[in-house]
Structures are given as structure tokens and as C-alpha cells.
Amino acid sequence: MSKHGEHFANKVAVVTGGASGIGRALGQELLGHGAEVILADIDRPLLERTVAQLGARGGRVRGAPLDVTDRTAVTELLAAIRRDHGRLDLVFNNAGINVCAELRDTTLEDWDRLIEVNLKGVVYGTAAAYEIMREQGSGHIVNTASVAGLAPSPGEGAYSATKHAVVGLSTALRAEARAFGVAVSVVCPGIIDTPLVHTTKYVGVTEERIRALLPIREYPVERTAREILRGVAANRGIITITRFAKLMWGLYRWWPEASTLLAQPLLRRVRKDRGRAPRTRS
């Protein structure tokens, strides 16, 4: 077991969005380090398959069907886990969705759904976990944002807004929580190879066109999970994943206007296909 892996041995960890993508990879990695893992997800059939697959490899894992937009359900799940295990060590608020659309094409319904899942889902998980962890005097809350939460992301402005909010929530709480023995981290990945690429709603552009225009390849999800856990073990406040994410964040801090300038060629190329692209894709 690696040095940072010892940090997770016998810990009780909850991962939302745990049936696929980064959540699934985190569950697998945590199990490899000896943690007891509860994967939570709204997709019950996929969750059951994931739990069966990971459980067959050994380790303590179970599933918990959960809609993160249901405040009562989130609170009750974390309270039950604390009651059953006597503690709650790690909560990864990881569930999320995306809408790839210019703001002129983003409906109020899109905004509502993004805020419900990406922001309120994290708020509910954070609030419930923080109350438990303050009382027990220990624990680590890990919220998944995005590089789009550190630098502007034209073409997915509403998604970017929710992720900026998650970064703000997490960094503020990190300062407040230290006095109570609670750690808080926010994960800001770049472009990761997960099902989110396929489940994103595309407006005015196709998934295939966006993928063709990406300046880099998608980053392996298993490697992403390993890097996240290294950051958690080191108690890093902001955990950036991929060189692209680090570059964009550094560039934005050094020269904010660069994001606007760099986006222009990409926007022009995307808009050339606007008339040929379907208006929506779910």
C-alpha cells in the first residue's frame, strides 16, 4: 500500500455520482486502499452493476440509491451512515451534469437543472456532512468542481457558473472548518474520459464537433481518481487535475483577459456549424 493509501485504510467514505465516471473510479481506488465505500447514485440499475463489479474484486462496498437534489434524502443517508458506522470520514460530493451551449441558447430550465444538481446537490451534501463532522471533530469533505470553476468557459457558461460557485463554497468552508478539525477540498479536473461527455446536453453544436475541436485528449479516469486521492491525503485545498487545467488556471490568474482572447477562434469555428447542428441534444 502506498504512503497516501494508508490515509484511507478503514475509513468510511461516501461518493455521490458513484455509479460511473470519476465517482466509480474513486470508489475503486478507495477500496484498493482499504476504505469502506458507499456509492450513491440516482441510476439504480447502473449502481447495482457497479457495486457488484467492484465488490467482486474484494473490499467493503455497498450502493445507496440517491437523488442529490433531494435535501431530505441526502441528509438522511449521511446520518444513517454515521449511525451505522459510528463515524463519517470522507464525503465526495461528485454528482454533476453539463449543458454545452452559449448563454443565448441556455434556457431557464437548463439553468434550474444545473443549479439543482451541480450546486444545490453539493450544498446539501456539504451541509449534512459538515454538521456530522463538526460534532465528531474530524472528517474531510471533497467537492467536485471543474477547471470551468477556476477560469471562464465560453460555450458552457451556465455550467461554469455552478462550478465557480462550488469553488467559492469549498474554499470559504475550508477556512471556517479548520477550527473544528474538518478538512475541505475542491477538485477541478480538466477534460476527463467519463460518460459526462456523452450525457451532456448540446445546443447549437454536436458532441462530435466539440470532440474534434478539443485541443487535447481526454484524461484517463482511473489516473484522475489516483491524483484526487493524493491531493486529499495531502489536504490540498484546490486539487487541479491535468496539465491543461493547471495551465488555464495559471493563465487566468496572470492575465484574465486571455480567456476571452483564446476563446474567439474556437467560438468562430463552432459557430460555422451552427446552422447544421441540431438545436438540442439530451
Show which residues are catalytic: 159
The residue type found at 281 is R
| Three-state SS annotation for 36-95 | EEEEEECCHHHHHHHHHHHHHCCCEEEEEECCCCCHHHHHHHHHHHHHHHCCCCEEEECC
* 101 vs 53: CA distance, rounded Å: 35
Nearest to 41 by CA among 16, 11, 24, 76: 16
- Sheet-wide strand order for 90-93: 60-65, 36-41, 12-16, 90-93, 139-144, 182-189, 238-241
What lies within 8 Å, CB to CB, of 208 at 6+ separation is none
* 15 vs 208: CA distance, rounded Å: 30
